[in-house]
Structure 1
């Protein structure tokens, strides 16, 4: 107990030092100011490069692919800063195929950075042309500073992007000297490429002190300080209403419950049935992320589908899942012109110095084979990631441990591999068959 308290006190001191001196934080501040000055959109441009930052980096050693990470010289931040300082001269679509794309993704001459899901050129004011909604999720960095490849893992579409004033020399040096290099392989699944650990892999368990904002904070942020017209309590949920069109539901039980808030806002649309472009879907969600007032230091775009746009915290290069498999924020919409924002109030505040605790994950292929033997269909697997499961540490209040865990998105749902192994897959397969028939 004494050791835990000492570690927490030390972490608070280190946190203060980091917040006032660390290069990573000062670089973020400079980035925000720079984007503000060159804003070319009427909204959202300021934070696009922060929330929508590539989350994974890959390189090669002796012809074999490796996942790269370095907390001191963050590859994703470095690349994002490089991209913001560059100007796109033109984008040329290349002729491509699944076979050619597979060759490229395994080409040792390229450094790669990827998004967890698809984005569009038009998301970035200095990177896309107006109404350019072409989708991509992977960058291929060449040995040249004059152009890069941009690819779509799912469709195998490939673009050559010619740049002016780009310089990736420091990025290449950081990648070569990255402190963490884990052997992986790229495996094609239904929606793109998954990263497979080729062997059992030992990963660190991290600990964080956390806090939660009060209910009043979110009521004030989302409904205002004087506009709440009613308050009701039903089945453990309190709902505050600004009017019929705007309301916030908050959990009453805070200790053991999921602590998921639900904000609903109805907005009249000229044509509610009109299809919304992916760009607008992503951009519109950013407004709601800012409106919540959660700590955005490590918050990143994570997933987009028919259910909405999801964001979660990335800590030490990996996404955090809450309440077994929830994400921090999901911004969705419905056919009745309602936007629904489901979010968790947990903030990861202060990192505890690493104490040596680790966990070992089995090879990804073995994990997937076990689930297939359980009844999961491989063609229903949409994503495979290693993320953190949040476990409460009983030695100190508000202290949590982050346990590396396999997570899969299959049949449209995120669950850990352990959770999927407990599901009745016959029910999921039956539902998938019925959906396919329709």
Structure 2
């Protein structure tokens, strides 16, 4: 028995030694092959990042309004159960069409298609490029459009329309059915009768009757200056200088971040980014890259507006943009210039919707709003856009982290976005073509 016990102890000890040695050898092999494993991990991360980037790009460049005809009347629709633009985006994400074909460029034919009840329509707030929608076409395809015409009955074609120049592009599809999407559009809970009227470069929905829209309340979150300093200027101890109502953080002579002391507004300037992208596709892609660099929350972030070398992104509630407090009102605005790139952004992040009593606010018909502008001296050619948007208002008497969202008309004149009341209350305003008026703005 003693011999057997002794033999067992020796065998166990030898086994343990072999296991330890084997473990050391395997560890050496693994650590010695670190470069190989790093490459595998890097490749995996790159693939994931690329995929996430494509999805995020497609989600941010998402249509924001949906229309269809019933009994010869056009309706703008919204459904709380089905995100209609997102449903359309998912249906077309893997589409592999033939190259888009230009069909015609005629105002009369374009307006006839706008009134065709056999199509539902989805629109972007401003023109984007074909290559942003059809990711498998040439990236250099900078032909622009802002409206989809989707057949209400089965068809092998959809059409992309550009309101500005009345151009239609036909896209041939394969193995895509819009039947469920059309059914969801036709049965959407919120349906508002509208007519389309040309304002500057776009056909915009005009509401013929008083419109009653809900108000909302949200708890908010705001990142500190240090968060944006680290993301934009790095961790190399940037200098800071306080002046008046702002603090300026600098990273050498090439980058600076200006933070307003008592608002949520920031301005970031990078003098090294001194090349203006040559194509609209590049501007849209590059601007989104820099917005992501800031580190803003993206769940409800959407492309909103583009002018020359400026691209604007807004948060949305339902199908309406949210205009934030402060001078710029925008969630993020990227401006490219030969002397440097500037980003104005707002750090206020809407987090949690608060249940309300169901309060609503009534807006006048759109034509009445336009008439008020004309009576104040504004010319039709100077009004670039009129949309419904939500104004974010802080009520510190309740909770400094609570904001109320109230619907109102927002009007774009001379590339500046203001509420209808703000434009009407500007004293001695003279807005003729080519004149700025007595206002500060973007």
Q: For this structure pair, what is the TM-score category when the shorter chain's length is used for normalisation?
A: 0.7 to 0.9
Specify the alignment match of 1:11 in structure 2: none
The answer to whether the 8 A contact 2:125-2:146 is kept is yes
Match of 2:319 in 1: 317
**Matching residue of 2:402:** 399
Partners of 2:81 and 2:325 in 1: CA distance: 30
Residue 271 of structure 2, aligned match among 254, 260, 266: 266
Counterpart in the other structure of 2:282:
280
Return closer, same or farther for 1:431/1:146 CA change in 2, 3 Å cut-off: closer
- Match status 1:346 vs 2:351: no
Matches within 5 A, 1:4-403: 45-124=54-133, 126=135, 128-142=137-151, 143-224=153-234, 226-253=235-262, 257=263, 259-267=264-272, 272=275, 276-306=278-308, 308-323=310-325, 326-336=329-339, 338-393=340-395, 394-403=397-406
Q: Which has the higher contact order (CA 8 A, sep 6+)?
A: 1
Shift of 1:375: 0.4
By how many angstroms is 1:37 displaced?
6.5
Counterpart contact for 1:59–1:111, Cα < 8 Å: yes
Deviation at 1:93, TM superposition (A): 0.6
- Secondary structure class of the residue paired with 1:108: coil
> Which residue in 2 is equivalent to 1:423?
426
| 1:260-291 Cα deviation digits (max 9, x unpaired) | 1011112266xx4x762111110000111111
Q: Structure 2 vs 1, CA of residues 366 and 125 (structure 1 numbering), >3 Å: closer, same or farther?
A: closer
Q: Which residue of 2 aligns with 1:9?
A: none
Deviations 1:105-154 (A, max 9, x none): 11111110000001001224525323111000000001235220000001
For residues 211-245 of structure 1, the C-alpha deviation after alignment (integer angstroms, 9 at most, x for no partner) is: 10111111111112x21331111122111112211
Q: Which runs of 5+ in 2 are unaligned?
A: 1-43, 438-442
Check conservation: 2:381, 2:433, Cα contact below 8 A.
no
For residues 227 and 37 of structure 1, the distance between their equivalents in structure 2, rounded to whole angstroms, comes to 29
Residue 398 of structure 2: SS of its match in structure 1?
coil
Q: Assess, with a 3 A threshold, how the Cα gap between structure 1 residues 84 and 145 changes in structure 2: closer, same or farther.
A: farther
Aligned to 1:16: none
TM norm structure 2: 0.83
Structure 1 residue 104, shift from structure 2 partner: 0.8
- Find the aligned partners of 2:163 and 2:391 in 1 and give their Cα distance: 27
Secondary structure at 2:370 match in 1 = helix
Tell me which structure has the larger Cα radius of gyration.
2
C-alpha distance after superposition, 1:293-324 (max 9, x if no partner): 11100000000003510001011211001127
Distance 2:139 2:325 in 1: 40
- Asked if 1 retains the 8 angstrom alpha-carbon contact of 2:382 and 2:431, the reply is no
